[in-house]
A = this chain, B = another copy of it.
Amino acid sequence: MYELLTNHIARHVSLHESDLQTFFTALKLVKLRRHQYLLQEGMICRHDNFVIKGGVRQYEVDNKGREKVIHFGFQDWWITDRYSWLTGLPSIYNIQALEDTELLQIDKDTLDQLFMTIPPLERYFHIVLQHTFAYWQERILVLQKPALERYLHFRKLYGHLEQRLSQHHIASYLGITRESLSRLRAQVAQPGK
C-alpha cells in the first residue's frame, strides 16, 4: 500500500525509517468509485492526495456551465487545489475520479506539524512542488499555441493515457471543444487531407 509512495520519496530524499513511519501514520487511504468526488466546488480543500491507483481530473464549471479541466492526476502524482489548500478559502474546483481510484491523503495542518520535526519531509514536498511547477510552466506556454500543437504536445506527454480519457475531457484540458478535437484527430490520422 505504501510501496509506490516509499519509492517516490526515495527518488528525491532519504528519510529515516522512523520518520517515514511517522509520516505514513498520518496518511489516510481513500477509495473512490468512478465518478465519485474527492473535492467539490464550495468545499475547503484541506488535503493533499497521492494517487496510487486510477485517475482523477480537476476542473472548474464556468458561468455558462462548461467544464474546464485544468489538471489530471494519475498514479504517482500528488493532487490538490493549491489555492484553497493555501488560503483556506472555498474551492472553485471539482476533483472527480475518472476510474475506480485509490489515494493516500494527508491533512494540511498535520503536514505542517510534521515539517517542523522532520525537515527532510518538507524538502521532499518542496522538490515535488518544484517538479509540478516546472511542468505547469510548460503547460502555460503550450496553452498559448494553436490547438493542433497543444494536442500533439498532450500526446507526447500523456499519450499512454489517451485511451483512458474521454475526448470530452482531453478537449477540455486542451481548451477546445470535443468537436474541434475530433477534427484535429482526423487531421493527425490522415495528414493527406
A contacts, CB < 8 Å to B? 60, 62, 68, 70-71, 81-83, 85-87, 115, 119, 122-123, 125-126, 129-134, 136-141, 143-145, 172, 175
**Do A86 and B140 contact each other (CB < 8 Å), given the known contacts A119-B119, A122-B126, A125-B126?**
no
A82 to chain B minimum Cβ distance, whole angstroms, is 5
**Residues of B contacting A71 with CB < 8 Å?**
137, 140
Find out whether the CB atom of A70 lies under 8 angstroms from the CB atom of B141.
yes
Q: Is the CB of A131 within 8 A of B86?
A: yes
B62 touches A134 (CB 8 A): no
Q: Is the CB of B82 within 8 A of A137?
A: yes
Q: Are B140 and A139 in contact (CB under 8 A)?
A: yes
* Chain B residues positioned under 8 Å from A62 (CB to CB): 145
Q: Is B70 a contact partner of A140 (Cβ separation < 8 A)?
A: yes
Partner of A141, one of B68, B122, B123: B68
Which of B87, B122, B134 touches A119 (beta carbons < 8 Å)?
B122
